[in-house]
Structure 1
Amino acid sequence: MKGRRRWRGEHRRFAAVLVLYTLLLLLLVPYALDYGARRGRADEEPLLRRCPSLEEALSEWGWEQRPPLDEEEEEEDEAGTAGAAGNGSAGAAGKRHIYLHATWRTGSSFLGELFNQHPDVFYLYEPMWHLWQALYPGDALSLQGALRDMLRALFRCDFSVLRLYAAPPAPRDPLAPAPPAADNLTTASIFGWRTNKVICSPPLCPAAPRTRGEIGLVDGAACEEKCPPRALRELEAECRKYPVVVIKDVRLLELGALLPLLREPGLNLRVVQLFRDPRAVHNSRLKARQALLRESVQVLRSRHRAEPRGSPRHQQQHLLLPPGLLGGGRASQPQHRAEFFLGGALEVICQAWLRDLLLARRAPGWLRRRYTQLRYEDLVREPRAELRRLLRFAGLTVPPALEDFVLNMTRGAAYSSDRPFLISARDAREAVHAWRERLSRQQVRQVEAACGEAMSILAYPLSSGDAR
């Protein structure tokens, strides 16, 4: 009996030890695996420690995914583009698509006009305006996905997407006559048609005074009189004939939204991003405050989503606010409310600029080859040199008449016309420095406080108090 009890005791102890050993293994193995994973992640260089919101944005856009072309294909693509620019055959490198990435009052209409004038370019002026109007008051960040999808369709010469947004709204009165069908959408309401070289020249407009290849601004009144509206399918057919399609718009807030399109091998997309001194942008926006109010509200609605995480909001609450709002005595006046919305929108835009600039610095080689930056000040000071650089980037020839055109457009007699959205010849030096005489010291300081980091990267020096 004693031997049997001893055997049972030893058996229990052995079973207990076995259970404890099994539990220990179950605890140690996951810990070891998790430790190895954490150590592997710790060895990786973080994207950008100084800007957590940028890291999250890059992760969201998935910008480090496989490039659209391997190294050999990319070299062949660049060689083909260089050959097209050198031998005068714009179509030798295949169809190319250029997006002019800008914001309001940066000189984007002037930049777009240079491509509108080129005989090998099919140019679309601000097609996303229709989407923003239809989805108002959606905030700028929320609309980026829809804007990207619209760009994809337009670059492929599929303009049917416009019928989703450009059709007139249904009448509120159920007994009122029905609005025109969306299928009736024509060239007479899209793409800034009165000054579009394709729409206002043969074959779409046989009675046009100028051919497509002639360089010079289109007379909008003459185009409206001589060029009847054409169906979208006719415009799509013309679009397919051109080797380069260029779209200029100001409503895409972030470069990251374009990364899925930049990775599409068949699209061959390249991006030109236009910047301008934020003080000059603010000055120009104030001149056109009423025209920009509605869209500034849409940008401002993205403010809390766009600002970097961890930045104390109370430090930004009074940036770019007009004196009347700071003092509280004149806040009800419409002009000060408009300035508040425009100023707040500029803060969001400058934060988006900063993310774009940091993304471009960190971008892989394939992305850097498809992206270039341009400062408005450089364009108007050295118009011929910058024009040649831009057209070389787009794989286009440089017509001598276009060089003369860009020079004449920057040597006008005045800073601007009474109509701020009208393209006309300007005095480049006056356009660059006008903000110094028109903005108060307080306004200059507020813009610099809101946009200082982006200005530093773009090499815009801070003022020395020389504004009035």
Structure 2
Amino acid sequence: MTSRRRWRWRWQHRRLALGLGLYTLLLLLLVSYMLDYGARRGRAGEEELLLLPRRCPSLEEALGEWSWDEQPPGDASQGAAGARGNGTGSEAAAAPGSRAGGKRHVYLHATWRTGSSFLGELFNQHPDVFYLYEPMWHLWQALYPGDALSLQGALRDMIRSLFRCDFSVLRLYVAPPAPRDPLAPFPAPAGGKASNLSTASIFGWRTNKVICSAPLCPDASRARAEVGLIDGAACERSCPPRALRDLEAECRKYPVVVIKDVRLLELGALLPLLRDPELDLRVIQLFRDPRAVHNSRLKAKQALLRESIQVLRSRHRAEPRGLPRRQLLPPPAAAAAALPGGGGIRAHQQHRAEFFLGGALEVICQAWLRDLLFSRRAPAWLRARYTQLRYEDLVLEPRAQLRRLLRFTDLPALPALESFVLNMTRGAAYSSERPFLISARDAREAIHAWRERLSREQVRQVEDACGEAMNLLSYPLNGADGEQRQEDARGRPSAPHQPG
């Protein structure tokens, strides 16, 4: 009996030990399988990562994000469209999708210190044009320090509303003007309340031909159809502020609405508006020699500092688009350290301002490069609604370029306007101490003023940062094969390659 009980106890002990051993073996096999599975998954993931492109997208891929090749709605005849606005000066039928004889809208696409105010003034003088000068300034001031790229969508929506003569969008952004704003209008109403918006809240209103003439201003000394600059002080005295609804009513009377602004960074942001057949939008893009732009920006550095910072903040967001990065000026600390004896506070601030302006010009030149490449691969329907203009060509051939722009916008030519543009570019004055003031001057002499004011190092830095865009615009680099010296002797730069 005792031996049987002992045998049973031993059997149960062995069964328990065997069960524990099998359970342990199962756990070991399971853990080994999971580790092996994880290793195989990791190797597969590494292989997939190796197949992914480890680079920024190419320029062609970056340009494709705007989908140029899509036809605008209602356009079934794109292939037969002419290249009226491709910058070659050739004329063709109305843009595909546009309403012949309907209201037309023109956007002057430019950047700071390119002569855009003068170009806009030519349209301001035309009696068939309702002109708005830089209304998007309000948006940038209200959303400071938002970077230029992130504000493009809001700018586009604002442009759409203004083209439709709906100025209520300004109520979202109008605020008291910045302290150093060179064209600050009337002081804003107490508290800056949007409910008190009037014509005196529109940026540049004191030189606007519609606001400063009848019927909005019955006591105006100059009729709307009379070509000539408006005396801002006289308009301020004679023309009391009017409600925005009165200005909207006047806007609806005009066959052409023109907006000039310098804050839209990329042409591609306008594509939804260009595709809208009800809007019939035409875009004129103005360029200028980047060296002359930099020279002019340095003369007005304090007035442009805030907006230059907003542009500069877009640089890192634009880098993944496949464009090369340039460094136009050294960082502020390094620049100040390079000055004799530390440079002092004022010299340090001076170099800080030049750093921000130089960095912003770098971003602008890269945006120009994208726009130029856009236009070169644009379909026919887009070329019919877009044209390019160099400031140098405008001031050297003012009447010919004016006629081309009027044909592009379907506006009648006026002898008085041709005389105006000639007088404005052949004045006796060389320059102005107020860089934002439009006045008659010898613009031909100002084309190469940068040669006298920029140092050799500044010229080199601008050319390094903007060389690609300058080549596409046919601006010879300084001293390249002696070509530019020959052009200086003739007083005119070489003609640019036009998109075709």
TM-score normalised by L of structure 2? 0.75
Question: What residue is the counterpart of 1:327 in the other structure?
Answer: 338
Residues 270, 371 of structure 1: 8 Å contact kept: yes
Deviations 1:298-347 (A, max 9, x none): 0000011223656675xx34547689347264385211110000000000
Residues 128, 254 of structure 2: 8 Å contact kept: yes
Residues 307, 351 of structure 1: 8 Å contact kept: no
* TM-aligned CA deviation for residue 92 of structure 1: 6.6
Question: What residue is the counterpart of 2:134 in the other structure?
Answer: 126
Question: What residue is the counterpart of 2:441 in the other structure?
Answer: 426
Return closer, same or farther for 1:464/1:210 CA change in 2, 3 Å cut-off. Answer: same
Residues 167, 185 of structure 1: 8 Å contact kept: no
In structure 2, C-alpha distance between the alignment counterparts of 1:442 and 1:156, rounded to whole Å: 47
In the alignment of these two chains, the number of paired residues is 402
Question: What residue is the counterpart of 2:425 in the other structure?
Answer: 410
In structure 2, C-alpha distance between the alignment counterparts of 1:251 and 1:347, rounded to whole Å: 15
Residues 320, 344 of structure 1: 8 Å contact kept: no
Counterpart mapping for 1:68-467 below 5 A: 68-72=73-77, 93-167=101-175, 179=191, 181-307=193-319, 316-317=326-327, 319=329, 324-325=335-336, 327=338, 329-330=342-343, 333-464=348-479
Return closer, same or farther for 1:232/1:78 CA change in 2, 3 Å cut-off. Answer: farther
Amino acid aligned to 2:102: G
Q: Which moved more, 1:320-329 or 1:453-462?
A: 320-329
Residues 205, 228 of structure 1: 8 Å contact kept: yes
In structure 1, C-alpha distance between the alignment counterparts of 2:321 and 2:122, rounded to whole Å: 39
Return closer, same or farther for 1:456/1:178 CA change in 2, 3 Å cut-off. Answer: closer
SS in 2 for 1:307: helix
Deviations 1:82-118 (A, max 9, x none): 799xxxxxx9721000000000000000000000000
What are structure 1's unaligned runs of at least 5 residues?
A: 1-49, 85-90, 170-176
Residues 71, 381 of structure 2: 8 Å contact kept: no
In structure 1, C-alpha distance between the alignment counterparts of 2:288 and 2:337, rounded to whole Å: 27
Deviations 1:133-184 (A, max 9, x none): 0000000000000000000000000000000000459xxxxxxx97253121
Residues 78, 381 of structure 2: 8 Å contact kept: no
SS in 1 for 2:148: coil
Return closer, same or farther for 1:311/1:77 CA change in 2, 3 Å cut-off. Answer: closer
SS in 2 for 1:274: strand
SS in 2 for 1:426: coil
Rg (Cα) greater in structure: 2
Return closer, same or farther for 1:464/1:256 CA change in 2, 3 Å cut-off. Answer: same
Q: Percent identity?
A: 79
Return closer, same or farther for 1:255/1:326 CA change in 2, 3 Å cut-off. Answer: farther
In structure 2, C-alpha distance between the alignment counterparts of 1:136 and 1:456, rounded to whole Å: 34
Let me know the Cα RMSD of the aligned residues.
Answer: 2.8
In structure 1, C-alpha distance between the alignment counterparts of 2:71 and 2:408, rounded to whole Å: 23
In structure 1, C-alpha distance between the alignment counterparts of 2:192 and 2:328, rounded to whole Å: 47
SS in 2 for 1:409: helix
TM-score normalised by L of structure 1? 0.80
Residues 83, 92 of structure 1: 8 Å contact kept: no
SS in 2 for 1:433: coil
Question: What residue is the counterpart of 1:66 in the other structure?
Answer: 71
In structure 2, C-alpha distance between the alignment counterparts of 1:143 and 1:434, rounded to whole Å: 33
* TM-aligned CA deviation for residue 57 of structure 1: 3.8
Deviations 1:197-248 (A, max 9, x none): 0000000000000110000000001000000000000000000000000000
* TM-aligned CA deviation for residue 55 of structure 1: 3.4
What are structure 2's unaligned runs of at least 5 residues?
A: 1-54, 85-90, 178-188, 486-500
